[in-house]
Structure 1
Amino acid sequence: MGDILEITTRPRHHHVFYKFTANAINFEIKAEGNAALGISNKPEQNCEFLIGIGHNNRTWIKKVRGRGVYRETIDTPNILSATEYRRFWVSWYGDIIRLGVNGNSKPIVTFSSRTAELKYVTFLALDDVRNTVHWRIEVPPYIEKTYVMRPISGGDPYWVPYDRTTDFPDNAYIGGHENENLYIIRAEHNGSLTPGKYMTSKGMGYIPWGGEANSKLTFEVLCGFNFTWIPCKSTDTIPVGAVVGGYSEDPGKEKLYIGRSKYLEHLIPGKIQPSHKVCYIPYEGREIGLDKFEILVVPDDGKRCVNKFLIPGALIDHRIVFREEEQMNMDIEHAVNFEEYAGFLNPEVDG
């Protein structure tokens, strides 16, 4: 599960930035006055965007850097407390920054960011020198940044059985966000082994099957960290290294892969069934099929198949005819211009 980072901030303190690649975080605040978050694409003193919480009884998001200052503001009296922690979430998917409270999926304030690659967050206190802010921030375990998609020793995927009599695995993989971190699970259901999500707030797993989000108390949890997410436009070609999460209930036991899709304000993991050409996610009691999704992949740049070279996220036609034995012995680095396809090679490991 995610680690809890506890920090204290005061006005005029030097900005300390934390890098988040999951595009969303959960956090709690205890403060008598106000609190603020800065979000930026670079760890610089002047943040790209600033979120003020409880500042003069108002909460707002504003653009700081660039031409002009644009702000979205709402009245929020007593949103913070000096005696207890109050829970919030913030996300920045799809060029929109959203701030929400108390596990409510509807944000209290939104702002159109139109800025790519927001990933650095700093935690602040504004104005009054007496304003001390205590934070509890849920973060994934630290993962060293990797610049090439090569296997990382010890991080390969594995599944851990779980029920309410056992401890939830410490190294469970965070696969999405729905007002809290979501973890990837799989469970048996009507002859299938189906991937889905686990919500710690409910203590329940959910898998998409038969038009419903089926709740599960006994399931397996995906662990490890050597993963990356690849946008997938079609299930006609599954990327090399795609993580198999289970199988369908059909007689042929079709392989089910692990995917995730953006839905409303959330990023929800579920199952990809190639013959259906969609990713199914469990949400609010329903199974929802979405044709835009990402697929979970274990990086491996050395695999190929007949007449085509496959690298994670890209299918590259083999334009020169080789005899089969020549093709199988050929080094893939000689056949593919990796700079040309650099957009497919994600240098970050999602957290």
Structure 2
Amino acid sequence: MANIMDLATEDKLEYHFFPVSSGSVQFKVRTPNDAHIALTMGPAESDPMVEIFLGGWGNTKSVIRRNRTKPDKVEIETPGILNGGEFRGFWVRWDGGIISAGREGEAIPFLSWADPEPFPIAFVGVCTGWGATGSWKIEDGAEFNTPDSLEYKFGPVVSGSLTFEYRGPHNCHVSLTQAPAEVDPMYEIMLGGWENTKSVIRHCRQKPDKVEVPTPGIMNPNEFRKFVIEWRSGRVLVRDGQSGEVIMEWVDPVPFNITHFGVRSAWGARGQWRISHFSGAQPLPPSAPVAAPLYAAPPGYPGAGAPIVAGIGNWVDATSGQVPPGAVVGGQDCNGEPLYVARAQHEGAVIPGKLCSSHGCAFVAWGGMEHGKNEYQVLVGGPNNWVRTNGSNVPPGAFPGGESEDGEPLYIGRVNHEGSLTTGKVQQSHGVCYISFGGQELGFPEYEVLMP
């Protein structure tokens, strides 16, 4: 087992969310009743959502519910399935719309339902309630095996990277696809092929290979070797997971949207794998200039023509849409209006967000909603150096923007969404950048973070 996340949940039916990149999650829970698991697209309770209730109704039955709506999709009697004095192990899996739950050590699920409208699951939430608190041990990157078979095991991707460890003599194969199946278009990365002598990148299962490099001894049957695969805009990189060194690289002139990955071992090899959520390696360099020159304030807007001065920057008080001279432009709204880096107080927190001058206020994200603030602070004379990253990988020295109600530092991030480049808050413990948009708080595992 690897990367066990310990978590305590209160008796308040409030989900704690974390990202997932494989098609399953394994966990142990200690609670007398009502262990709830949510499967969602984002790190919050929002539709579409599938919930699995274990040991509900006084630890007598378990159900699957969709979009918080009754009647439940599946209901079975499970008396005594949970225990407040000991950990009980379970797994939840999803693939092609089939949601299933089972006990640790049992391959056959005791709950299963086929969702007629499946959606990409990127986050899992856990909570307890109805008189119960809980202790959880959630497995991140648990080990699994692949047989000597040219058959991929598929799971959904969360972001533009996949980190994994492989232990086997040779032929570690990874595919990137737009469905949980071997369908074209498709990339294949074959590491340690040809009796552990070379590695290749293959497109649509066709030869000649797009890239071929000698990699003698890259795999080892006695120890795990770590690798990172990254992709964006058709550019595929394979890195050594320890050194970050690029092993192979290829640019597809006709890229496609990657939604799934597959793994297998073959040609006389069996493999053992550990799949992680997000890459800790260096992010891909930007494919276009950063936003400082692209989104400078146009003539006629307050602050236009004022130089963006290097330095640590100052937070300047403002109200009612005012933009102080030298305000840092962080992005632009859907209509092309510049968005400035701002922050405001809300519910005991100081939250980085965006200032949209024409709206007469700044906006911050909190509690699943967008909040307009007439009084706020604007970053003036500060940096405009944005670095791409993902998950909880906030670069050391990132520019601080505020803190949560619990005292956790919040950093300044931004994401592209529906034609806008919107600034918001990066909460490292959540592994996402939150922005306010269209009245909602939206979380994104891939983002840019402001650096000095």
Please report the TM-score for the alignment, with normalisation by the length of structure 1.
Answer: 0.48
Structure of greater Rg: 2
Please report the TM-score for the alignment, with normalisation by the length of structure 2.
Answer: 0.39
Q: Which has the higher strand share?
A: 2
